[in-house]
Amino acid sequence: MSDERAPRADARRNRARVLEVAAEVFATEGLSVPVHEIARRAGVGTGTVSRHFPTKEDLLIAIMSTRLVKLTAEADELARHEDPATAFFALFTSLVRAGAADCGLAELAGTDRRLDAIGERAGADLCGRLHELLAAAQKSGDVRADVGYADIRALMSACMARKEDPLEPILAVVTDGLRKRS
């Protein structure tokens, strides 16, 4: 199978350093930071970055996939142990907090298609889980039946955008609004 020998030590070091720096930079400054800048801050050349990650998208996927897998696992956990509405709102809140803490993730969640594409490559269909939990929570009558998945995505993105201000008020507005009037 693997007729490829292990990569050189310095190559592994550089790869890890690039990942580390890129994760921090994307989180604090967003996805629009140039690759050159990431290379500079990591103390390597741009060639080193683009060899390990041929494309900026590849770099992004490498950073996000582990996180997406973790969040998906959390979604499954919630779906198993909680009733639909509790699970849905817990996942929603969890995603919002993750996005609020990571500028890059928030941007990803904002542009509908991108997050799904990356999740698919990582084998973690987080969006699908959210979709299912929404449907279940609507079926059980706890969430308004007229909102669509796209509405949820938009609201989630709006909550994530609150970077500095406290999240609680806007989260309360949205979750209250989503609950079916009794």
Partner DNA sequence: CTAGAATCGGGACGGGCGTCCCGGTTGCTC
Partner DNA sequence: GAGCAACCGGGACGCCCGTCCCGATTCTAG
Residues that bind a copy of itself (CB under 8 A): 144, 146-148, 150-151, 154-155, 157-159, 161-162, 165, 168-170, 172-178, 181
Q: Report, in Å, the least distance between residue 152 CB and a copy of itself.
A: 9
From the list a copy of itself, DNA, none, which binds 151 (C-beta under 5 to 8 Å, kind-based)?
Answer: a copy of itself
Distance (Å, rounded) from C-alpha 110 to C-alpha 106? 6
Closer to DNA at the Cβ: 53 or 88?
Answer: 53
| SS3 state at 179 | strand
Closer to DNA at the Cβ: 15 or 153?
Answer: 15
Q: Report, in Å, the least distance between residue 165 CB and a copy of itself.
A: 6
What are the φ and ψ backbone dihedral angles of 143, each rounded to 5 degrees? -120, 140
- CA 42, 47, 51, 56 torsion-angle sign: positive
| SS3 state at 143 | strand
Q: Report, in Å, the least distance between residue 25 CB and a copy of itself.
A: 20
Q: Report, in Å, the least distance between residue 99 CB and DNA.
A: 21
Closer to DNA at the Cβ: 10 or 164?
Answer: 10
On whether the CB atoms of residues 41 and 19 are closer than 8 A, the answer is no
Q: Does 103 bind DNA (CB under 7 A)?
A: no
What are the φ and ψ backbone dihedral angles of 32, each rounded to 5 degrees? -85, 0
Calculate the alpha carbon distances from 63 to 59, 107, 122, 143, 179 in Å: 6, 14, 11, 33, 34
Block residue for tokens 């209250």: 176
Q: Which stretch binds DNA (CB under 7 A): 6-14, 89-97, 126-134, 145-153?
A: 6-14
Distance (Å, rounded) from C-alpha 115 to C-alpha 51? 24
Q: Write each residue from 19 to 38 as x if it is in contact with DNA (CB under 7 A), else as -, in one continuous string.
A: -------------x-xxx--
Q: Report, in Å, the least distance between residue 179 CB and DNA.
A: 41
Residues in contact with DNA by CB under 7 A are 5-11, 14-15, 32, 34-36, 43-48, 50-52, 54-57
